[in-house]
């Protein structure tokens, strides 16, 4: 695995391209060779940077989660209404084109091939707490509410990607977000 600044930059670029490919293609069940072909790079280059398909997918998942958090931050900048931010974020999270990312994430979490759940919760809390504070939550309650938000959204997303009725899931999401009114 590359540790130089140039190597780290190449690794990030490859992971970003793999994430874009995954979201466009929709299939997380690809070999490292299939990813190499799709990215027009050698199989050995991906092995060098990620060690395995699981390593590549773990980095793709981490990057995808970061993009989601960046999206939430951008929504907050564009809208002063925290309720509108939360609803827009759910719409973005629940878009079918995002489902391959969740399938990868859920599979990796089941195999313990991603960062610890505590790290992921902390990263989401960092971007959610300001939105929740805008809704009037105290700092302590905002942290608890962030955990509720993450757990609820993950559960709803699990339902979406495992075949639950989409309309039912979206109704459940509306009921959940209604408690922020």
Q: Is there a contact between 179 and 137 (Cβ–Cβ < 8 Å)? A: no
pLDDT in tens, 78-123: 888 888 888 899 999 999 988 888 888 887 777 665 556 778 889 9
Tokens of 68: 């989601």
pTM for the model:
0.82
Q: Give the number of domains in the chain.
A: 1
Q: Is there a contact between 18 and 60 (Cβ–Cβ < 8 Å)? A: yes
Most distant CA pair in the chain, distance: 52
Q: Is the dihedral of CA 120, 121, 123, 128 positive or negative?
A: positive
Q: Which domain holds residue 55?
A: 5-178
Q: Is there a contact between 57 and 10 (Cβ–Cβ < 8 Å)? A: no
pLDDT in tens, 38-58: 999 999 999 999 998 888 988
Separation between Cα atoms, residue 161 and residue 64, nearest integer Å:
16
Indicate the DSSP class of residue 180.
T
**Could you tell me the CATH number of the domain that includes residue 60?**
1.10.357.10
């Amino acid at each position: 695995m590359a540790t130089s600044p140039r190597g780290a930059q190449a690794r990030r670029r490859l992971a970003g391209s793999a994430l874009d490919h995954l979201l466009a293609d929709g299939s997380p069940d690809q070999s490292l060779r299939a990813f190499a072909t799709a990215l027009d790079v050698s199989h050995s280059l991906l092995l060098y940077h990620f060690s395995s398909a699981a390593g590549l997918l773990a980095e793709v998942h981490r990057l995808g989660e970061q993009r989601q958090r960046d999206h939430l931050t951008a929504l907050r900048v564009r809208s002063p209404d925290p309720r509108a931010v939360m609803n827009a974020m759910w719409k973005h999270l629940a878009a079918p084109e995002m489902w391959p990312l969740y399938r990868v994430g859920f599979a990796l979490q089941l195999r313990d091939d991603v960062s610890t759940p505590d790290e992921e919760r902390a990263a989401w809390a960092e971007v959610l707490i300001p939105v929740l504070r805008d809704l009037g939550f105290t700092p302590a309650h905002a942290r608890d509410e962030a955990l509720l938000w993450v757990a609820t959204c993950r559960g709803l997303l699990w339902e979406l990607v495992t075949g639950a009725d989409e309309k039912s899931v979206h109704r459940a999401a509306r009921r959940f977000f209604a408690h922020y009114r």
